[in-house]
Every structure is written in C-alpha cells, then in structure tokens.
C-alpha cells in the first residue's frame, strides 16, 4: 500500500519557516484552481443543456399535488418534480433539522513576493490554519479557533482578532524577516457538523439534500 504520510522536518529550512519544529508530508494533498474548476463545470453543464440561474435566492417551497413550487426572493416561483438542496453551510435556513452549522473562514492573500520559497499547501494547528502559494503569492486563512462563537455565523466579514493573528503568523512564522504586503482579504462560510461525513440523503418525497464537506467541528453545539 502506498505510504501517504511521511516525516519531512528536514525540509523546514527549504521553505524558510521560523519557529517550526516538525513537518509532516502528505502526498495525497493537492491544490486546485477553483476558477478553472467552475469554468470547466459550467462548460460541461452547457453541453448537457442544463440551465443555470444565478443570483436567485430560494426562500422555501409549497407542496402542490402534482409538484413542488419553489419560492424565489425575486417574487416568482419555479415548479419542479424534484428539489436537491446543495446550499452547504446555509442548509439550516431551508432545512431547520439539518446537522450543519456555519463556520466562517477568513482569508488573505499577499502581493507577489520575489523569490518565494514556500511552494505547496500547508496545514497548521490541527488544520485551523491553512496556507498555500498561489504563484508567487501566499494565500493564508483560518483562525476560527481564536473565537469560535463569533465565527459560527452566516454573515461574511472580517474581524481584527483573526486578521491580526493571521498577519502575525505570516510575518513571524511563514515569511519571517522579509517585506510583504497584503493585497486582498475576504471570507467564506464552511458547512460543519458533528460527524466527518457529508449529508447526502432524501429528506422527503420530492426533496433531497447534499450538504456539508468532510469536516467535523469539535466544539459543535446544536
């Protein structure tokens, strides 16, 4: 069987990290260009003649005898035989019993860094922090564990508690002793729950859901 995980502490200096004692390499880890991924997905969908309607919020649905009427925030309804809910972290807003909680992830990206030594994808502190190179920039995010209550939210946004900590780790551990500038900051909402597996199931006769990644939250409170 292929060995996926191995010790890699001898490589710490190669990446230029400071204050890091141990490194473990996982050859199953990879990077994905999510822009390219969405572009490919949309071209596949177009070939199959599937219509994509963007910017329409689903508010709920009515049961009709012969179908469901899905109610949109734009004031019109869409009739359907089957509804698949894939709103991930936001699942509870449509399915109150879903065991999915929101977990906000705050992210920043640096401006290009000449001669960047950090190449690859890295996880730190039980995975609560995540960084990778994007070309010659560093993308760095996480820190939900600094303030679980505030980050358990459906609201996009940034806080000084998390952003200051990200900047501190960036300048002292990941890119020590070198000038760097932050280019952009943003946030996203992850779907978390009490078990690792995703929730893919039929909810009722005409409704199914496929939500939540393979992430578990240890502090889950439902």
- Residue of 87, 100, 144, 192 that binds ligand FAD (CB under 6 A): 87
Q: Tokens 């069987």 label which residue?
A: 1
- Whichever of 86 and 172 has its CB closer to ligand FAD, that residue is 86
- Based on the shown chain and the rule CB under 6 A, indicate whether residue 29 belongs to the binding site for ligand FAD: no
Shortest spacing between CB 200 and ligand FAD, in angstroms: 10
**Residue among 51, 81, 203, 151 nearest 211 (CA):** 203
Q: Report H helices in 103-173.
A: 148-151, 160-169
Q: What DSSP state is assigned to residue 114?
A: T
Work out the number of other CB atoms within 10 angstroms of the CB of residue 74. 11
Number of residues lying near ligand FAD (CB under 6 A): 16
Residue 188 as a binder of ligand FAD (CB under 6 A): the answer is yes
Helices (H) and strands (E) in the chain, counts: 5, 13
Of the candidate residues 166, 170, 174, 190, the single one contacting ligand FAD (CB under 6 A): 190
User: What H or E segment, with its residue span, contains residue 91?
Assistant: helix 91-94
> Does residue 213 belong to the site contacting ligand FAD (CB under 6 A)?
yes
**The token pair that represents 73 in the structure block:** 């925030």
Count, residues in the chain: 222
Q: What single-letter DSSP state applies at residue 216?
A: B
- Give me the least distance between CB of 219 and ligand FAD, in Å please: 17
* Smallest distance, ligand FAD to C-beta of residue 87, A: 4
Residue 133 binds ligand FAD (CB under 6 A): no
* 90 binds ligand FAD per the rule CB under 6 A: yes
State the nearest-atom distance from the C-beta of 113 to ligand FAD, in Å. Answer: 20
Footprint on this chain of ligand FAD (rule: CB under 6 A): 57-58, 86-90, 93-94, 105, 107, 141, 188-190, 213
């Amino acid at each position: 069987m292929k060995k996926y995980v191995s010790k890699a502490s001898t490589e710490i200096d190669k990446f230029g990290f400071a204050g890091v004692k141990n490194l473990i390499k996982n050859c199953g880890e990879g990077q994905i260009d999510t822009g390219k991924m969405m572009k490919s997905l949309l071209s596949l969908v177009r070939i199959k003649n599937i219509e994509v309607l963007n910017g329409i919020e689903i508010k709920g649905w009515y049961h009709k005898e012969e179908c469901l009427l899905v109610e949109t925030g734009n004031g019109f309804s869409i009739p359907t035989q089957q509804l698949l809910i894939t709103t991930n972290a936001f699942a509870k807003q449509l399915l109150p019993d879903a065991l999915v909680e929101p977990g906000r992830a705050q992210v920043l990206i640096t401006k290009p860094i000449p001669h960047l030594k950090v190449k690859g994808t890295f996880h730190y502190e039980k995975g609560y922090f995540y960084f990778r190179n994007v070309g010659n920039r560093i993308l760095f995010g996480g820190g939900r564990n600094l303030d679980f209550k505030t980050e358990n939210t459906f609201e996009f946004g940034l806080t000084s508690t998390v952003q200051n900590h990200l900047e501190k780790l960036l300048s002292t551990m990941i890119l020590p002793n070198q000038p760097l500038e932050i280019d952009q900051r943003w946030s996203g909402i992850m779907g978390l729950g009490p078990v690792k597996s995703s929730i893919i199931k039929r909810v009722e006769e005409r409704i199914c859901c496929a939500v939540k990644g393979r992430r578990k939250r240890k502090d889950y409170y439902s």
